[in-house]
Amino acid sequence: MAPTAAIRARPCTGAAFASVFASAFAAAPAAGRRRARAWHNAELLPFAPSVGAFRVMTSLLELAHAQHYPAGALYIVATPIGNAADITLRALHVLTLADRIAAEDTRNTGQLLARYGISKPLVAIHEHNERAAALKLVDYLRAGERIAYVSDAGTPGISDPGAKLVNAARAAGFGVIPLPGASAAAAAVSVAGDWAGMFTFAGFLPSKARQRDAALAQLKTHPYALVFYEAPHRIVETVEALAAALGGERRLLIARELTKLHEELFEGTLAEGPTWLRADANRQRGEFALVVEGAPQRNSDDDQSAHDALLSMLLEELPLKSAAKLAAALTGASRNALYTRALVLKKATDE
């Protein structure tokens, strides 16, 4: 059960939160601030000049403030994947409201918070201490604190210790509240096209070739698009391995340095990917998200014909049950479905 210990209410006032937003605006590049003012003067922002930017921003801040943020809860907060302007107003609100902020790398998080004028106690939680750190953070939750967890970049719980912290908090009876925001995987899929409408996030492939190839063998027939993350020193090798394992004709999107100054996208095939990467050494720098087309779907009529032919041959030598079992092992199709089909074929033959 979750604790019922009372804790004092510490609302984040509109004025205090407005100062945080002002810090974020000030942290933006000067050129960006000039463009924002120019857009406003040219009436290109989505509000009328009579309303004004301040009133609109105040309204948005009030919406962020109005939602209930219970004490003794874990907040999973998405942060920018590159461009600091991609922080959400609710993320700023919760980071301002939190008693402590848990982070994969406190140095990176400290620098990010400084850009927004936020200073909070930081707790490191990473792969080397995640169990002990999770227990410590659960103790803080028992004391009625609001704990915010952020990863190095993007949405937490994906390829970082956040998932185990979520498990620990929920197992101890505490609420876990998501604050959505930037995600490299979602951003890459959004520009891939309709062939990536359904996808599976596969994260980082194993670094050792043998384990990597085994993982790709399991994914070879997966029908949905596959999303991977990759580091710069392995990007060419990984794309080559994907082409070898899955087939070079599959479509590929390489998203490099998303939302950053040197953001770059490549859309082609797995066979073309390594050539594009090698054409410019700069293309092998930065952080990568890869979207790979899923396995081509076989024609069901062709499958049925192939299964019938196989079952007919097996039924000449084996009992019906054994024929269906062996056919299932050879084709990967459902044993029950093949057994039912074998009954039909056998009946037709007997007649």
Q: Are 315 and 346 in contact (CB under 8 A)?
A: yes
Residue pointed to by tokens 């194993």: 206
Q: Which candidate, 300, 308, 317, 301, places its Cα nearest to that of 344?
A: 308
Which residue in 155, 181, 149, 184 sits closest to 167, CA to CA?
149
185-292 homologous superfamily: Tetrapyrrole methylase, C-terminal domain (3.30.950.10)
Give the pairing of strands 199-204 and 251-256. Answer: unpaired
Collect contacts of 332-335 with beta carbons under 8 A, ≥24 apart. Answer: 333/303, 333/307
Please give the pLDDT value at position 34. Answer: 54
- The residue behind tokens 């396995």 is 295
Q: Are the C-beta atoms of 176 and 162 separated by less than 8 Å?
A: no
Residue for token pair 């770059």: 264
Residue 135 burial by CB count (10 A; 0-12/13-18/19+): exposed, middle or buried? exposed
Check if CATH label 3.30.310.160 holds for domain 14-180: no
**Which residues, in sequence order, are CB contacts of 112 under 8 Å at separation 6+?**
79, 80, 84, 150
What is the reported pLDDT for 39?
44
Per residue of the chain (351 residues), what is the pLDDT tens digit? 343 333 333 444 444 555 555 554 454 455 544 544 544 444 444 444 445 666 777 788 788 888 899 999 999 999 999 999 999 999 999 999 999 999 999 999 999 999 999 999 999 999 899 999 999 999 999 999 999 999 999 999 887 778 899 999 999 999 999 999 999 999 999 999 999 999 999 999 999 999 999 999 999 999 999 999 999 999 999 999 999 999 999 999 999 999 999 999 999 999 999 999 999 999 999 999 999 999 987 656 667 888 889 999 998 889 999 989 999 888 888 888 899 999 988 888 876
Q: Where are the domains of the chain?
A: 14-180, 185-292, 300-350
Residues across the chain: 351
| Amino acid, res. 129 | N
Site of tokens 């995600």 = 183
State how far the Cα of 192 lies from the Cα of 38, in Å rounded to an integer: 32
Task: Let me know: does 191 contact 265? Beta carbons within 8 Å.
Answer: yes
pLDDT tens digit sequence for 222-250: 999 999 999 999 999 999 999 999 999 99
pLDDT value of residue 2: 40
Strands (E) across the chain are located at 73-77, 100-103, 122-124, 147-150, 175-179, 199-204, 225-230, 251-256, 264-269, 288-292
Tokens 């004025």 belong to residue: 15
pLDDT of amino acid 20: 53
- Per-residue model confidence (pLDDT) at position 332: 82
**For residue 305, how many C-alpha atoms fall within 13 Å in the half-sphere facing its CB?**
5
**Amino acid found at 265:** L
Residue 290: phi, psi to the nearest 5? Answer: -115, 135
CA distance 268 to 251: 6
DSSP state of 79: B
| Residue among 144, 138, 163, 98 nearest 5 (CA) | 144
Question: Which pLDDT value is given to residue 257?
Answer: 98
Q: Could you tell me the pTM of the whole model?
A: 0.72
Give the per-residue pLDDT at 136: 97
Q: What is the DSSP letter of 154?
A: B
